[in-house]
Amino acid sequence: MENKNYRRVNYTVSIMVAKSPTEIFSHILNDVPKFWPEEFEGKSNQLNDQFVFKSGGSHYSKNKVIELVPNKKVVWLVTESIRRTDNFEWTGTKMTFELTPKGDNTLIRFTYDGPVLENEYDRLIRVCDMVITENLYDFLTGAT
């Protein structure tokens, strides 16, 4: 990583959805472009699948599915990354979706485990919260 003004963080955000873990697991594997804000290319529904997130010409990350526990857990690993505006990289970051049944509902815990620039921790929280508590929640509940 070129820029050393960063720290490694572990940030988790959770939502409760009135769907089964099986339904949610299927959506997380198969419907990433429907809830993730960046452009999506590739596949993300089997172990070792690789996919890319891009946002214009400024944001790029290549990701790999490194863990799949049916109806319980999905882990993505960022294998390449660059934000061209400042050469920030977050390669090595893990993004984890954990599903826990709670009666007729499912608790979804999303964890970002990777670097963040010192002055961008609040931005990371806003982005993670938006992707999970707004985009994913709205997609799963049909609110969009």
Q: Which domain holds residue 108?
A: 6-141
In the chain, the number of structural domains is: 1
Strand partners, 107: 16, 100
CA distance 98 to 28: 11
For residue 112, give both structure tokens: 């970002």
**Is 55 among the domain residues?**
yes
Residue with tokens 């993004």: 95
The tens digit of pLDDT for each residue in 19-64 reads 999 999 999 999 999 999 999 999 999 999 999 999 988 999 999 9
The answer to whether the beta carbons of residues 53 and 72 sit under 8 Å apart is no
Inter-CA distances, 96 with 44, 104, 132, Å: 13, 22, 12
Question: Would you place residue 1 in the very low, low, confident or very high pLDDT band (cuts 50, 70, 90)?
Answer: very low
pLDDT, average across residues 4-20 = 94
The tens digit of pLDDT for each residue in 92-123 reads 999 999 999 999 999 999 999 999 999 999 99
**Is 1 among the domain residues?**
no
The answer to whether the beta carbons of residues 98 and 111 sit under 8 Å apart is yes
Q: Residue 56 sits in a domain of what CATH number?
A: 3.30.530.20
